[in-house]
Structure 1
Amino acid sequence: MARMLILSCKNLRIIVKDDVIEIHYAFKKPPGRPVGADVIAVDKGYTEAFVDSDGDTHGMGLGKIMTEYSGKASKTGKARNKLHALEKKHREAGHTSKADRIKTNNLGTKKINARKNKAQERIRNIAFKAAHSVVDKASLVISEDLSRPIAKKKPRKKYNRKMFSMGQRHTSRSP
């Protein structure tokens, strides 16, 4: 649960989230970086964030992180489902103390959320750096719209899990 403590100065906030203290403060933004003068088209990919029309890749390693996180999340989710079924079975059989121990010691989400947040930060970092490197090269960037699935194509289960996870969100939202 996040708590916000507002101090007397108007440009400083201290936020406490799950035993982590964040300090937010305001400052004057420096002028932006100059952009390139070209017009290029980019293609969003899985192994890299973007490939431009010159053939240069931007954001290498994106797919590796997404595959690694997706695999771990899938494996963890399957194991958690088995433990949840076991907990439910013990609870229905009247072994509530055993069910409570399974739930308390195995079905928490703190580590899962931390892993997800860490992967999201890494993916967002790569996607934004890739977008900045594209914009450094060109003033106008043309990209295809990948917000909707391709019609009449049923993606495979693993492919769907990997492709439409957090990575595609970040590459589409990167500045």
Structure 2
Amino acid sequence: MSQIDRFVVVTGGPGSGKTTLISALAAEGGRTMPEAGRGIIQDQIIIGGNALPWADRAVFANLMLAADMRSYREAQAFEGLVVFDRGIPDVIGYLHLCGLPVPEPARRAAALCRYRRQVFIAPPWPAIYAGDAERKQSLEEAEATHAAMVDVYTRLDYELVPLPLLPVAERAAFVLRVLEQGT
């Protein structure tokens, strides 16, 4: 299996169950890479920084790109499948969503650091959506984020696989079935 085929992305809007799903896959023994944005927000809050989605969005996007590229590099050392909680194209989607220009390095990163063609996308799920200290978006913003991810991953020639609105164990089983069929 090629490196690209081993690198699996789960994307979508906030509050759609991505991280919960990825945690369930990790509990089954899968290798996972964390979402960059949440960690950056936590770090920026601790240090009083402004690289936040509600402060300096461009700097926040640059930090996410750097973190996502580091995750991609680190994952190269692992054997077997690696599931990413968002991928480098998410940064481009975020910039589009914010009405910010996409710098050429972000475009280059998305072109050079490719993932498995099948990308799992979590649709908006109002029944489970909840905000928290790092997730301040409304459900409408979560839906707009989902649409931005559909757009960017499609334009980058990925095949989107919508995640079913099912309990986490059934969602994880769905992902594993799709991955098994594609190998």
- Indicate whether the TM-score tops 0.5: no
The structure with the largest strand share of the pair is 1
The structure with the largest helix share of the pair is 2
Please identify the structure whose Cα radius of gyration is greater. 1
